[in-house]
Amino acid sequence: MDSLDRVVRPKTKRAKRFLEKREPKLTENTKNAMLIKGGNANSTVTEVLKDIYALKKPFAVMYKKKNITRPFEDQTSLEFFSKKSDCSLFLFGSHNKKRPNNLIVGRMFDYHVLDMIELGIENFVSLKDIKNNKCPEGTKPMLIFAGDTFDLNEEYRRLKSLLIDFFRGPTVPNIRLAGLEHVLHFTAVDGKIYMRSYKVLLKKSGCKIPRIELEDIGPSLDLVMRRTHLASDDLYKLSLKQPKALKPKKKKNISHDVFGTTYGRIHMQKQDLSKLQTRKMKGLKKRPAENT
């Protein structure tokens, strides 16, 4: 038997649980992100990675050691780290004379790079520079995208999808009002992307609906798009494909109008109206003469 075809069976219960966790599932786990520092990352890039890690915790892995790699030239290191840490999202930070204060955000499909977009940092305000109360760790943020460029330009459209994947957090069945306390706002205008982070403050308004105020808590980033590596349309469609078991089954004879009202159609056998039971009245009774 060839060594490539050999099935590695777990020898301990812990190894068995580890392999079961990584098995394909109908509903996938919350996507984890790995944050990697390049071989020549400066203090600005390092602080950005730390702040994004603080926003992503606990669904993130921070690699503190410097890694000498160039994702646009060679992606094997990223794919190795992705498989090692079971992360499908990554943020790589580097700095050099040609591309100063550089970030590369991307995602994986089957442990291979699907999309990645290079962003340059033009201005940065860190979490520690803004002295306000922060949101608790693991808070699911509300994502807001402003600017027509996110819908009109294909690269910006893919960047929007990538940012939603990166920051969306776990899927939750219910939402409570007090839990809506973190906003991430992305604005695309004049060739730049502005990222802002706010805390939602619920103030008294004199009625049931509270008055909403936004307080800047950081980090704050002014970004510009540089290089892109986008998946082909066929590969992108393949990555979005859902299992048949998750697709809702079509219900027959049910329709909806523009107002959302549900209508159902029932199929019945043809009725014999002569045997239909009607209301008994004296005037409808047959007389003895009619019976003969």
Instruction: Identify whether 85 is part of a domain.
Output: yes
- Rounded Cα distance between 62 and 52, Å, is 10
Instruction: Identify whether 229 is part of a domain.
Output: yes
What pLDDT is attached to residue 2?
44
Instruction: Identify whether 201 is part of a domain.
Output: yes
Residue 57 structure tokens? 């915790």
Three-class secondary structure of residue 133 per DSSP: coil
268 vs 141, which has greater pLDDT?
A: 141
DSSP state of 159: H
235 vs 8, which has greater pLDDT?
A: 235
Contact 226, 102 (CB under 8 A): yes
61 vs 239, which has greater pLDDT?
A: 61
Nearest Cα residue to 76 out of 193, 205, 67: 67
Q: What is the CATH number of the domain that holds 182?
A: 3.40.50.10480
Report if pTM > 0.75: no
Q: At residue 243, does pLDDT exceed 70?
A: no
- Rounded Cα distance between 244 and 110, Å, is 19
Instruction: Identify whether 45 is part of a domain.
Output: yes
Contact 223, 121 (CB under 8 A): yes
pLDDT in tens, 185-236: 999 999 899 999 999 888 888 888 888 889 999 899 999 999 998 887 777 7
Instruction: Identify whether 71 is part of a domain.
Output: yes
Count of structural domains, the chain: 1
Residue 69 structure tokens? 């790699």
In sequence order, the 6+-apart residues with CB closer than 8 A to the CB of 51 are 126, 127, 218, 219
On average, the pLDDT of the chain sits at 83
Task: List the domain range (segments joined by +) for residue 164.
Answer: 29-233
Contact 197, 220 (CB under 8 A): yes
What pLDDT is attached to residue 186?
95
What pLDDT is attached to residue 19?
67
In sequence order, the 6+-apart residues with CB closer than 8 A to the CB of 126 are 47, 48, 50, 51, 218, 219
Three-class secondary structure of residue 195 per DSSP: strand
Instruction: Identify whether 292 is part of a domain.
Output: no
pLDDT in tens, 19-72: 666 666 656 678 889 999 988 888 999 999 999 999 988 888 998 888 888 888
Residue 207 structure tokens? 């009625």
Contact 228, 155 (CB under 8 A): yes
Identify each DSSP E strand in the chain by its residue range: 33-38, 60-67, 89-94, 102-109, 112-125, 142-146, 182-189, 192-203, 211-216, 220-229, 254-256, 262-264
Please tell me the least confidently modeled range out of 3-7, 73-77, 195-199. 3-7
Contact 184, 197 (CB under 8 A): yes
Angle between helix 154-167 and helix 43-56 axes, rounded to 10 deg:
60
Contact 142, 129 (CB under 8 A): no
Contact 93, 37 (CB under 8 A): yes
Instruction: Identify whether 280 is part of a domain.
Output: no
Instruction: Identify whether 265 is part of a domain.
Output: no
